[in-house]
């Protein structure tokens, strides 16, 4: 039962943080409000989101109370991250800011002046939650991702509770809506718990929210239907909302403990009914209630800066004075001789011990808890050196074996997960089910396969939910893979962008150490849509991600199975980045020994000597497994027709936004000439949009020699070979392009050029006619065998 | 009350369509099953998704029954679009296929043979719903968009009902989850209704669904909480599921009618409680129940092709024979003398009159019902020719005025909507509220602004929901704008990709006429994030969309207000495409008269004579409004320092994936040399990622002269000018780059080059120091005035 003194303390702490949040938005001096404000105390330009701040502070104080009462580890995720002044206020009061920034933000008036002056200022503190701020594990600002990230953070952290404040605006987004479904996926035995708190302040930027206009009964129904135990807190009910909230937090904590205790004692808990707090407090609570005949408190008009002319208008300034005065901040602290703030002992009673403050919680600093993966033995998994080139094998199946072994080797570490939108099987990773299964906390039927309460594969059909969970899992120091259909990676492109922003901004923060990479695996590639079709043909994610900082994004396009294994290993070694691995899930020819694959992975670009002639007349390059197969077939074809022509084959298996190959390769720009020759024509066959390669080689002076082929947005339900025909990446097209280059360079004469082109065009026409009349010959490709 | 004879008819129709769906998956001949199947009747390669087909057929038959009984317009959207054989089977039986494809798919055995042989075959019929199929308004395959598209289709179509089958896999996605929230937005007076039918067959590709493991009570709670009236149909209940479903459809229809009738009689219906049918029938219902000890029916193992070795294995073939035989298809039809199928009269009783068949519904063919917009008078809205160049004005506010007038002029047509994720005000389009408001069917409070039951602005904080609604609204022939924060357009990048696929595939379909463009307006641009920050700085959508077919995507980057007006008008003239307009929402200098803006819009590229010298030594180009401002400032600067140097200014306002400027401009490639000179250095200042321009000019032979500047993923909460400083697009950077070009070309000497560079670097350092010490001067930019 909540003690009256606790309520007193909560109220004081919230008064203090509301005061400090307000100060940050308005004041450049007189930040302790030691005297009445004058116009010159006000910043010249007022920016910030006031309306959501009081709710963030209210919840922060209540989370603190639970931490103090139970000495339990909490992280606090703030969905309405644009209420950053509130986050910052709490980080100040709890001492996290002065801990991490002792010189810049000391625990005194200077510190408060600093956070006020620099709030929303260029080169100051951003207006949204951000990795520069202690304890934050999400780049705030883009709404919708707080709850999925929270679920990811508590996986395999059994003692952790993630208190997650969800805004009622954010709650209207699709990604957030699907995040409620994660309660099916998280087993209470070995994982922590999420405590979602929906802040129903009723308003977005300029209008009401969906939940804001729902009755208690409707809210209760919806969340019970979703499988939660809703607890409603409402400032319009008779009981003091502070008492309501403290009781709701206690009840939630008990419920979480009860579920975990029973589960950990061996009880099988089907449908764990986690609590959710539905908290109705007014937007802009405790601010100026009305001004100029306008309702501010409890309305969207308090979303951003209210009484915003206080720098020049007396009426506005008076309102701000009254508002700030209402907090009686001076009653809440004293100063010691050094000028440090000594907060009232009630407030102090709510500050957790240092290591449990939300800004200091080590579990939110993934770099501090990360343990490298024990790595599977590639020699055991790979195709042996004796495997003839051209032997068919499966990249994704190999990756699944690697993951299976990795799960086995790291069984006790419990720091590896697969997050997959319902496609672990479909992407041919089924070998992992020899070692683990899919986690599912709702009913499991006798005929279900590979489902247990505690499986390490997290599956639901929401790319958004699962990407968010991966984000939460990796930034808290664990390792993850997100295998998905290539086309549908686009669903999370914005989430991936925000993840990259978080990681990039983190790198500049002295107290954050590198965290394991997010590994996005694209399979069910555009070429292989015999079973699906045009909707499943989309390499846009790959192209779009290759705009980010080159050290943040690496795209690996392994040419075969051994190459896939090598890049899988490399991906897990990555830190503070997002890797994209593009690999087919059906049989394709194998080209490289493990040693060769390793060598190629150093540079990401390699001349394949076994397929190349010295002193080449023309260069054929490929990036992507299916297009490599076509290119190798084109080599065979053109050599049959032009046995004396000399051809070099270049395989490209890594791309970054700054160019082809690894950053190591790119750091030696002269290598481009060495690999692609100084002056010979280059025909480049690429898996994705040709434009992607165009932008990456733009700065290479020899780029005008490049003829770049790729997916031109033509497709349907068809075979890989036919996709090549439709998009100009087939072996026949490549021969035509090489012949043209050779003709241009005078290596072959016009007669030869015409003959070859005619022959190839005839074969293309024959192909079209054949399948129109006979349907696709499923062996069309498979029958082809590499020979040299 | 449902009549027994209706149930008999429904059962017969579903038997027929289940038979035809199965035939398409397995058979290449003997498609009427006139004799027992032999191995040679089976296709060599079996592809398709069986499990979802019976549910689609079941619902299609029930929709037909409602259409027949009430002669009401329905469209039927199939969320599980990969059950295409079922869609195709119904389109065959109702005669829509033989109507649109009389020669290819006649209403006889040949027609059935055709759809069987070509199903999932290259150059045949895709395996998912697709625009080549009559009546389909969504490219099936990517899950999550059916319900939002359905909501969009019924807006301003008061007599239309969109029956929308939502798969329980699809229902796990974020976009679908948020689509339920649209019941707040659609007023029953002037709009039609959506009848959602959730097909809870319990399984996805390899495991159970969330809803599949929920109890009736939980389902009921969740949907009541969401504001619907749930009606449960379950094949495990005692009553015949056919009777249950027909009754559920009747009840739904009555509820829809009741809401609409009351609302249209003047009753204010707050919280209209639309019906939703939660339909539990087994995955793979009526197929092979078990095989080889494996549970198929009612399990994920019936997701795709079952008994898939029937071409070679006798046991498999026997099972298929038993299965097909169970439908007794031969009892359901006769043939007339011409060999045409005459279906049983019960089945015929369920075929709607021709124009109401789902495949023939003219409202699903937007091109047939489209009416062009009456267009506002630009002369009245634009900045007059007397406006001095450099005068400050607001592009987005101007666009809002255009939209306001468009709403007024087309008030009676009711064919224009804004779909906006909560940002109509924030994107400065508030002028529209002088004419219309936001639609909201839940409680409206006295202090709410611009909210009525029937507003034409559709707002909720879900980009996914609103983009889907726009898709549904435009493909059914109406006009729409989707204004959003630039950064968060990425949230719908995959939806935009799928929309483009739908439109591109539609263009090849002889019975589809062009539909109005989707107009995506990007504002709150990356440069203008004083109020927000790094999370709000992302031009990825623009870059990614510029990979699509050039006639499908146009990006307009108007340089000022008049240019924005001209492009707004042009955007609404677009058909079968997606336009992107990129425009700032704060004050920026105005450059062009309306006539100049119109002239520039022809080519999308124009030399600005008023800012250019003849016989230039160097070219400065800009694309984007903020970067144009910087470029113009750079012109002033460099001319002060180098008065004799001759500079040309080129403004680029249109981009497509094939290059700079309009397609008309691009069709005359020699114009590139004319505009950019044949040999002079070009400094190009771009709003988005430099890589985007790199890929677009790659094929231009003079591209090595281009120095391309743009957003380099550096940012925070800061001013537009400082964003330029961080990303190298500021006036100072441009002067440095121009000076380098001039030095390279020998126009200036080393001393001049060093002096200018030193001066600019000093100004950059001063800028950094200034704002670090003093904060940002809000007038820094605004004080700058264009002079020439």
Please state whether A6 falls in left (phi above 0), alpha (psi between -120 and 50) or beta.
alpha
Selected from 3.40.50.1820, 2.60.40.10, 3.40.50.970, 3.40.50.1010, the CATH number assigned to the domain covering B4-362 reads 3.40.50.970
Distance of CA A410 to the CA centre of its chain: 23
**pLDDT at res. B718:** 87
Is the ipTM value over 0.85, yes or no?
yes
In chain B, what residues touch A577 (CB-CB under 8 Å)? none
A698 touches chain B (CB under 8 A): yes
- Output B3 or B656, whichever has higher pLDDT: B656
In chain A, what residues touch B423 (CB-CB under 8 Å)? 205
A206 touches chain B (CB under 8 A): yes
Segment B503-526 mean pLDDT: 96
Domain span(s) for CATH 3.40.50.970 in chain B? 4-362, 372-588
Nearest CB to B128: which of A459, A535, A701? A535
Domain boundaries A615-774, CATH class: alpha beta
Residue A286 in contact with residue A326, Cβ under 8 Å?
yes
Q: Tell whether domain A372-588 is in CATH 3.40.50.720.
A: no
The first and second tokens of residue B46, run together, are 């079996």
Whether residue B225 and residue A206 make contact (CB cut-off 8 A), yes or no, is: no
d(CA A255, nearest CA chain B) in Å:
20
Residue B780's pLDDT band (cuts 50, 70, 90): low
Length of chain A: 788
**pLDDT at res. A531:** 80
> Rounded CA gap, B142 and B120, in Å?
17
**C-beta atoms surrounding A341 within 10 Å:** 22
Q: Chain B neighbours among A 246-285 (CB < 8 Å)?
A: none
* B292 class by beta-carbon count within 10 Å (0-12 exposed, 13-18 middle, 19+ buried): exposed
B142 touches chain A (CB under 8 A): yes
A658 touches chain B (CB under 8 A): no
**pLDDT at res. B183:** 98
Under DSSP, the state recorded for B216 is H
A452 touches chain B (CB under 8 A): no
| Domain A8-365 fold | Rossmann fold (3.40.50)
**C-beta atoms surrounding B435 within 10 Å:** 15
**Residues 6 or more apart in contact with residue B600 via CB below 8 angstroms:** B559, B563, B566, B592, B606, B651, B653
* A551 class by beta-carbon count within 10 Å (0-12 exposed, 13-18 middle, 19+ buried): middle
Q: CA dist A380 to A306, A377, A383, Å?
A: 66, 6, 8
**pLDDT at res. B58:** 98
Domain span(s) for CATH 3.40.50.920 in chain B? 607-774
**pLDDT at res. A786:** 65
List the one residue out of A622, A607, A641 whose CA is nearest residue A756: A641
CATH of domain B607-774: 3.40.50.920
Q: What angle do CA A432, A435, A438 make, to 5 degrees?
A: 65
What is the percentage of chain B residues whose pLDDT exceeds 70? Answer: 98
d(CA A290, nearest CA chain B) in Å:
12
**pLDDT at res. B529:** 87
Q: Which of B28, B119, B173 should be substituted to probe chain A, the one whose Cβ sees the most A Cβ atoms within 10 Å?
A: B173
Q: Chain B neighbours among A 399-418 (CB < 8 Å)?
A: none
Residue A407 in contact with residue A436, Cβ under 8 Å?
yes
A136 touches chain B (CB under 8 A): no
Whether residue A491 and residue B487 make contact (CB cut-off 8 A), yes or no, is: no
Whether residue B717 and residue A120 make contact (CB cut-off 8 A), yes or no, is: yes
Q: What are phi and psi of A758, to 5 degrees?
A: -60, -45
Segment B225-231 mean pLDDT: 98
**Residues 6 or more apart in contact with residue A733 via CB below 8 angstroms:** A709, A724, A725, A760, A764
A669 touches chain B (CB under 8 A): no
Whether residue A207 and residue B438 make contact (CB cut-off 8 A), yes or no, is: yes
**pLDDT at res. A219:** 98
Which residue intervals of A27-142 are DSSP H helices? 53-70, 84-93, 96-100, 109-118
- Pairs of residues, one from chain A and one from chain B, whose beta carbons lie less than 8 Å apart: 394
Residue A417 in contact with residue A605, Cβ under 8 Å?
no
Q: Which of A29, A167, A210 should be substituted to probe chain B, the one whose Cβ sees the most B Cβ atoms within 10 Å?
A: A210
The first and second tokens of residue A588, run together, are 């394709």
In chain A, what residues touch B450 (CB-CB under 8 Å)? 207
**Residues 6 or more apart in contact with residue A707 via CB below 8 angstroms:** A681, A682, A683, A684, A737, A740, A741
Domain span(s) for CATH 3.40.50.920 in chain A? 615-774
**pLDDT at res. A718:** 87
pLDDT in tens, B38-47: 999 999 889 9
Whether residue B208 and residue A501 make contact (CB cut-off 8 A), yes or no, is: no
Q: What is the mean pLDDT of each run of 10 residues along chain A (788 residues)?
A: 92 98 98 97 94 98 98 96 95 98 98 96 90 94 96 98 98 98 98 98 97 98 98 98 98 98 98 98 98 96 96 97 98 97 98 97 96 97 94 96 98 97 94 98 97 97 98 98 97 97 95 98 93 92 96 98 98 98 95 98 98 98 97 95 97 97 97 97 98 96 96 92 94 97 97 97 88 63 56
> Rounded CA gap, A169 and A172, in Å?
6
Q: What is the CA radius of gyration of chain A?
A: 30
Q: What are phi and psi of A677, to 5 degrees?
A: 70, 165
């Amino acid at each position: 039962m909540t003690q009256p003194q606790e309520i007193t303390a909560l109220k004081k702490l919230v008064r203090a943080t509301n005061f400090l949040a307000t100060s940050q938005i308005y004041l450049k001096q007189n930040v302790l409000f030691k005297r009445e404000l004058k116009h010159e105390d006000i910043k010249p330009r007022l920016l910030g989101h006031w309306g959501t701040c009081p709710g963030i502070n209210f919840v922060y104080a209540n989370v603190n109370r639970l931490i103090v009462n139970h000495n339990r580890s909490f992280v606090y995720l703030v969905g309405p991250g644009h209420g950053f002044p509130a986050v910052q206020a709490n980080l100040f009061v709890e001492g996290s800011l002065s801990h991490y920034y002792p010189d810049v933000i000391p625990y005194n008036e200077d510190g408060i002046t600093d956070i006020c002056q620099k709030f929303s200022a260029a080169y100051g503190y951003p207006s949204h939650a951000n990795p520069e701020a202690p304890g934050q594990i999400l780049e705030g600002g883009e709404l919708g991702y707080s709850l999925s990230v929270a679920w990811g953070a508590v996986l395999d952290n059994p003692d952790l509770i993630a208190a997650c404040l969800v805004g009622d605006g954010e709650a209207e987004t699709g990604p957030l809506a699907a995040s409620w479904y994660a309660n099916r996926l998280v087993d209470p035995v070995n994982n922590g718990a999420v405590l979602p708190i929906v802040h129903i302040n009723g308003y977005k930027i300029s209008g009401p929210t969906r939940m804001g206009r729902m009755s208690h009964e409707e809210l209760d129904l919806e969340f019970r239907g979703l499988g939660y135990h809703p607890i409603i807190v409402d400032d319009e009910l008779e009981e003091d909302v502070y008492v309501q909230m403290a009781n709701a937090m206690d009840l939630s904590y008990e419920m979480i403990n009860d579920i975990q205790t029973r589960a950990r004692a061996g009880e099988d808990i089907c449908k764990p009914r986690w609590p959710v707090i539905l908290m109705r407090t007014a937007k802009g609570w405790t601010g100026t209630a009305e001004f100029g005949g306008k309702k501010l408190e409890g309305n969207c008009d308090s979303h951003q800066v209210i009484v915003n002319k206080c720098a020049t208008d007396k009426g506005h300034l008076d309102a701000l004075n009254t508002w700030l005065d209402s907090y009686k901040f001076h009653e809440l602290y004293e100063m010691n001789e050094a000028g440090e703030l000594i907060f009232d002992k009630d407030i102090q009673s709510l500050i957790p011990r240092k290591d449990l403050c939300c800004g200091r919680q080590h579990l939110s600093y993934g770099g501090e808890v990360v343990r490298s993966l024990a790595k599977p033995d590639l020699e055991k998994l790979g195709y042996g050196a004796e495997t003839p080139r051209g032997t068919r094998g499966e990249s994704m199946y190999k990756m699944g074996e690697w993951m299976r072994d990795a799960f086995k080797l790291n069984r006790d570490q419990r720091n590896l997960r697969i997050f997959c939108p319902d496609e672990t099987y479909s992407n041919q990773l089924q070998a992992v089910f020899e070692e683990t299964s899919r986690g599912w906390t709702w009913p499991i039927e006798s005929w279900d396969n590979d489902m247990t309460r505690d499986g390490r594969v997290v599956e639901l059909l929401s790319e958004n939910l699962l990407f968010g969970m991966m984000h939460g899992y990796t930034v808290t120091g664990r390792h993850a893979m997100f295998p998905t259909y290539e086309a549908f990676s686009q669903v999370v492109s914005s989430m991936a962008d925000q993840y990259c922003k978080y990681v990039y901004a983190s790198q500049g923060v002295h107290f954050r150490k590198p965290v394991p990479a997010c590994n996005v695996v694209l399979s069910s590639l555009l070429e292989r849509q015999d079973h699906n079709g045009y909707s499943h043909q989309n390499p846009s994610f790959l192209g779009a991600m290759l705009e980010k900082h080159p050290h943040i994004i690496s795209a690996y396009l392994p040419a075969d199975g051994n190459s896939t294994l090598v890049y899988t290993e490399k991906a897990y070694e990555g830190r503070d980045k997002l890797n994209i691995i593009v690999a087919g899930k059906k049989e394709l020819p194998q080209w490289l020994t493990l040693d060769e694959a390793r060598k190629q992975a150093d540079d990401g670009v390699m001349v394949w000597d076994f397929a190349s002639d010295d002193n080449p007349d023309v260069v054929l390059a490929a990036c992507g497994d299916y297009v490599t197969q076509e290119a190798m077939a084109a080599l065979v074809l053109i050599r049959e027709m032009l046995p004396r022509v000399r051809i070099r084959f270049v395989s490209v298996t890594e791309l970054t936004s700054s160019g082809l190959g690894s950053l190591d390769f790119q750091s030696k720009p002269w290598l481009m000439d060495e690999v692609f020759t100084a002056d010979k024509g280059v025909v480049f066959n690429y898996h994705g949009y040709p434009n992607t390669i165009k932008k990456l080689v733009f700065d290479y002076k020899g780029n005008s020699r490049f003829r770049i082929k790729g997916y031109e947005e033509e497709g349907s339900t068809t075979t890989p070979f036919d996709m090549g025909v439709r998009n100009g990446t087939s072996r026949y097209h490549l021969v035509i392009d090489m012949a043209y280059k050779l003709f241009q360079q005078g290596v072959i004469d016009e007669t030869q050029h015409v003959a070859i082109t005619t022959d190839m065009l005839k074969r293309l026409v024959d192909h079209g006619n054949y399948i129109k009349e006979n349907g696709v010959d499923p062996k069309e490709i498979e029958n082809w065998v590499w020979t040299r």
